[in-house]
Structure 1
Amino acid sequence: MNYHLNIINAILLIYEQIVVSEIMYDIAVISGDGIGREVMSACEYLLDKLDLKLSFKYGEAGFDCFNKNGTTLPEETIKLANDSDAVLFGASTSTPGQPSPIINLRKELNVYANIRPIKSYKGINSIHDDIDFVIVRENTEGLYSQAEYGDENKVIAERIITRRASERISKAAFNLCVKRGQSKVTCVHKSNVLKKTDGVFKESFYKIAKEYPQIKTEDFYVDATAMYLITQPQNFDVIVSSNLFGDILSDESAGLVGGLGLAPSGNIGDHNGLFEPVHGSAPDIAGKNIANPCSMILSASMMLDYLGEWEISNDIKGAIEKVISDCKIRTPDLGGDSSTMEVTKAIVKEII
């Protein structure tokens, strides 16, 4: 009897594994403008080579979309993103007088935590070779609320900071610290000047910290943090900050490890995930097939983590590390002369 039960259980386990491997993921693809299209095309090429079932569905956003449709972010694109298992976004060119499509899409999806990993790679010349931290940036308010008004003589931008959003992003930072197996979360603010808004942010951070007694905490002013990122970046594990500060510090941090071409990001909420390279649309090099695809591909790796495909995600990250450390096939931003697709194909070769 036990023998037959064991056989049945084994069959059920095999069936369960087969069902899991047959999961079809609906991925919304929004290439945007400039090199966003080129790196997205490279990313799709790589994802097509993986042992995954992905259904790509396409939406429009950005400058060219505005010229075509009269809006930088059509309702159809928002619906597509909301109905998908995850979203891949390339890059968009700013449209004068129009709202940012990526900022608005983040708000529409309520992806309140912008996650930007910063990691040093062998073969990249930098002062520090032991960098491995992440910046967690509040994604829905702050100065990026886009609440501006005034006239030609005086313009005012509202900086909106709420306890709810500050506590929520602090909790996300602490949870990520636990997930990464690290030991410290640093709060970045400017409460000596912005006493009320950043006062709320700092207070919220330390309120949530009480729920994680095993995690060390510290806080620095944003200007001091900018210096510490240059002089002692290896001392950070997880940094949490408001929208504008987090954006600026993450670009600075990318410069420590090879530039924006190696800087991925994920925007995570309770029900949605949006993944994009940190870089912009770079119109100066668009169409030349020399954009570094690694940031986009690493963002796709973050997407696979989000979907629970950890093994394949790790394979992608390992392949990128191998290609970079070999120093043979690199795009111009890393000192090489390879094309976007040459780098992508080299990464694929390391995976398969």
Structure 2
Amino acid sequence: MYKITLIPGDGIGPEICKAMVKVVESTGVNIEWEEVIAGKNAIEKYNTPIPKHVIDTVKKNKVAIKGPITTPIGKGFRSVNVTLRQELDLYANLRPIKTFKGIKSRYEDVDLVIVRENTEDLYTGIEHKLGEYGAESIKIITKEASKRIIQFACDYVNDNNRNKLTCVHKANIMKLTDGLFLNIFRGICEKHDFEYNDLIVDAAAMNLVLNPEKYDVMVMPNLYGDILSDLCAGLVGGLGIIPGANIGKDYAVFEAVHGSAPDIANQNKANPTAIIQSAVMMLKYLGEQDKAIKIENALKHVFMEGKVMTSDLGGSATTQEFVEEICKHIK
């Protein structure tokens, strides 16, 4: 039996997490879920968005899966996602981007993976005011963090039968920070047999829109990864179907990367695909390959048939109907 921390999140989070649990359990995998709250609900109960016991339970169980958590813009509490990544040293953010037949998209045969450094860059949150003149944010890129994320990306290429690794950077302008990241990338990739290249981030954004099928695995610092992973999600149908994983040496947290959508919460209309796909990644991480493939195949069938789709996918099915259809194909 696996014991896994479940963080339902805000808005539609509890609904889609309930749906995910039903799908995962329909495969027959034996999981005991330890549910804890974080985000807005935690503030009301504990006066903090991420109580210490939430971190403690993830450390104890080693693996967690979470729904979306609202982060205030420009004020309020710091991102729970960023806090989890830094407290647990979840240095690698993994975002597979893949087209599904049956889901409306302008592209076919997209199958790429964004590997994003998860602990530094501008996301360290080191900011200060410059009197009344302005404000300054400090970008941190270190050798240690760069080496381990690039090595993670190289290992991912080798372990998953991938063919090419692309480094995304802005070293033409940020010669010290991004220059360091790029030089480390070249030094590590020299020791591997696969093809590798690098691309300036603005060119990467354009080329991903023009020819996303040309890319395989892409590794980059934190900010570029945040932006380009969402851009790539838009290529294949949106954040509602894209999974995410945050992986470190000792712990892993899997998550739906879309927003909490409070406007449709508790209406039985949310699309749980992203959190279900994140659970697929979680099962693979646990070594439950057969169970993960069962869910993947069920999703493919449901999308191909196109009969039971939530409203964001062009259908009229409820969350519950969509989940029941997936479970039917699994069984």
TM-score, structure 2 length as denominator?
0.96
The aligned amino acid for 1:199 is: G
What is the CA-CA distance between 1:124 and the residue it aligns to?
2.0
The aligned amino acid for 1:176 is: Y
Which structure has more relative contact order (CA 8 Å, sep 6+)? It is: 2
Match of 1:180 in 2: 160
- Aligned pairs for 1:133-172 within 5 A: 133-150=112-129, 151=131, 153-172=133-152
Match of 1:237 in 2: 216
The aligned amino acid for 2:7 is: I
Deviations 1:189-230 (A, max 9, x none): 111111111011111111110221x11111111111111111
TM-score, structure 1 length as denominator?
0.91
Is 1:132–1:234's contact at 8 Å kept on the other side of the alignment? yes
- Aligned pairs for 1:202-217 within 5 A: 202-212=182-192, 214-217=193-196
Is 1:33–1:63's contact at 8 Å kept on the other side of the alignment? yes
Q: Secondary structure at the match of 2:120?
A: coil
Match of 2:91 in 1: 112
Percent identity between matched residues is 43
Deviations 1:55-114 (A, max 9, x none): 110112112211321111100000001111410010111143211111101111111110
Match of 2:36 in 1: 59
Match of 1:83 in 2: 60
Range that drifts further, 43-52 or 77-86: 43-52
1:70 to 47, 58, 62: 47
Distance in 2, matches of 1:173 and 1:125, equals 29
Distance in 2, matches of 1:77 and 1:127, equals 40
Range that drifts further, 290-299 or 61-70: 61-70
- Show structure 2 runs of 5+ residues with no match: none
Is 2:62–2:250's contact at 8 Å kept on the other side of the alignment? no
Q: Secondary structure at the match of 1:300?
A: helix
Match of 2:173 in 1: 193
- Aligned pairs for 1:1-352 within 5 A: 24-95=1-72, 96-150=75-129, 151=131, 153-212=133-192, 214-352=193-331
- Given the superposition, is the C-alpha separation of residues 162 and 336 from structure 1 closer, same or farther in structure 2, using an over 3 Å criterion? same
RMSD across aligned positions (CA): 1.2
Is 1:33–1:281's contact at 8 Å kept on the other side of the alignment? yes
Aligned length: 328
Name the larger-Rg structure: 1
Q: Secondary structure at the match of 2:21?
A: helix
Deviations 1:304-344 (A, max 9, x none): 00000011111111111111111111111111111112111
Once superposed, which parts of structure 1, at least 4 consecutive aligned residues long, lie more than 4 Å away? none
Q: Secondary structure at the match of 1:56?
A: strand
Distance in 2, matches of 1:65 and 1:127, equals 40
Distance in 2, matches of 1:260 and 1:144, equals 21
Is 1:136–1:246's contact at 8 Å kept on the other side of the alignment? yes
Distance in 2, matches of 1:290 and 1:153, equals 47
